Structure 1
């Protein structure tokens, strides 16, 4: 009797469908959540189809031309995202990587269909210690004398920066389960537009879908949602 686990075929894609793929893997029952600055911002839930890529098949698009690569830190792994909708799909080891014994690539489980996310066991990986900091770390909020709180934010690469003047400290956020917010692991707050000031807003592009009433803004050099 074979000891090899039975494989399940999962289908995945970015939100706009420019990049689609199939993944054969044992039934997904666990995921890895890394705490490094880029994984935390994107809310990745990783699975590692290792040691072989033979069960990963691109159905539409191309890993290297349809998806855009973002590199930072040791630049050994490329974070691949769709430049149209901003969906972060996977990370891929660079040809010059000197990392030994690590998976060649990882898939963001949030891009897969028919996964029972409520039953996933999530393992925490301390990437914040292994890969400390980020190119442009977020500044701690400032409590003003009038009771308001000033927040300073940015995308991971620093191309887009903003400030948010909130009447009080932010203690609540909204988690939306629509198809794009789930892929992006977005946590939303809804300030008055006059309370937000952007620096270099042209660094972001807008993506709309369905009724096109909401514009999802992300930075084309990274794929991180800001608005």
Structure 2
């Protein structure tokens, strides 16, 4: 619900879209200076930062329709999750009001990882298991302890896809990670730009999990890549980055945090619709 102060502020029009540009919208809001950050099971996994329109009439679909977006419900099923992302908002600079709904009944039960375990043997390592919200896709990671002692910390990136999906990244090697689904078709893969990586996600609940090497990209796409792409490919073949938000034992807020501000300049540049 909008506060009394917000109702007195002039409205400005913000434009937003999904990354593939199938859905575009505009919303009228007071200037965004603060957002709500909830720690419940779904908001944390998806990295949501919330702002609320004062009236439903302040939201307008420009391209696509409500059926363009996938829907997901859970718990008491009194909310349908179809989350929209705004353009040109510096989320790192916003004031964040933290809302503690993690322990609201009924409590969320963390899904069990039923897949294999990573083959990596790491001295002093620990096995972490996590997954999407509905449990259809899970992940296991072998790593040095993912706490305040973890030297690499967690990386937040402001590129077009990471900003929209709220990732907090770690960068393990392939042998440290197992991505699993009892029904493999539930693993969604989204590639764009140089088509070198697949952003993996659950097709049911939409939670984003990892960033795997796209071994199926073809020679034609390779030929169109910029010169710097070769060094990225050598790295991508050996690594399987994981979104720390999907590991329930990891409190990324206690880890050192790195902010990647240069990735928006890597060609080909993303253009907002």
Shorter-chain TM range is: 0.7 to 0.9
Partner of 1:193: 174
Partner of 1:169: 145
**CA distance in 2 between partners of 1:114 and 1:146 (Å):** 43
Per the TM alignment, residue 183 of structure 1 is displaced from its structure 2 partner at its CA by: 0.8
**CA distance in 1 between partners of 2:104 and 2:36 (Å):** 15
Task: Extract unaligned runs of 5+ from structure 1.
Answer: 81-87, 90-110
Higher share of residues assigned helix: 2
**CA distance in 1 between partners of 2:134 and 2:16 (Å):** 26
- Write the mapping of 1:84-163 to structure 2, written as runs, cut at 5 A: 88-89=83-84, 111-131=85-105, 133-137=107-111, 147-163=124-140
2:228 corresponds to 1:224: no
Q: Deviations over 1:75-133 (max 9, x none)?
A: 101111xxxxxxx42xxxxxxxxxxxxxxxxxxxxx11232434422111111122563
Partner of 1:17: 21
Question: Retained in 1: the 8 A contact 2:38–2:99?
Answer: yes
**CA distance in 1 between partners of 2:125 and 2:185 (Å):** 28
Per the TM alignment, residue 73 of structure 1 is displaced from its structure 2 partner at its CA by: 1.0
1:72 to 67, 71, 74: 74
User: Helix, strand or coil: the match of 1:129?
Assistant: coil
**CA distance in 2 between partners of 1:186 and 1:54 (Å):** 31
**CA distance in 2 between partners of 1:138 and 1:48 (Å):** 34
User: Helix, strand or coil: the match of 1:39?
Assistant: helix
Partner of 1:205: 188
1:29 to 14, 30, 33: 33
The alignment covers a number of residue pairs equal to 190
Question: Retained in 2: the 8 A contact 1:154–1:161?
Answer: yes
Residues 118 and 176 of structure 1: CA distance in aligned 2, closer, same or farther (over 3 Å): closer
**CA distance in 1 between partners of 2:81 and 2:160 (Å):** 21
Partner of 1:95: none
Residues 26 and 147 of structure 1: CA distance in aligned 2, closer, same or farther (over 3 Å): same
Q: Deviations over 1:146-179 (max 9, x none)?
A: 522111111110001221122x112222212111
**CA distance in 1 between partners of 2:179 and 2:122 (Å):** 23
Partner of 1:40: 44
**CA distance in 2 between partners of 1:73 and 1:135 (Å):** 11
Task: Extract unaligned runs of 5+ from structure 2.
Answer: 1-6, 114-120, 211-273
Per the TM alignment, residue 137 of structure 1 is displaced from its structure 2 partner at its CA by: 4.8
Scaled by the length of structure 1, the TM-score of the pair is: 0.77
Residues 177 and 136 of structure 1: CA distance in aligned 2, closer, same or farther (over 3 Å): same
Question: Retained in 2: the 8 A contact 1:37–1:133?
Answer: no
Scaled by the length of structure 2, the TM-score of the pair is: 0.64
Residues 197 and 119 of structure 1: CA distance in aligned 2, closer, same or farther (over 3 Å): closer
**CA distance in 1 between partners of 2:199 and 2:51 (Å):** 26
Per the TM alignment, residue 138 of structure 1 is displaced from its structure 2 partner at its CA by: 7.3
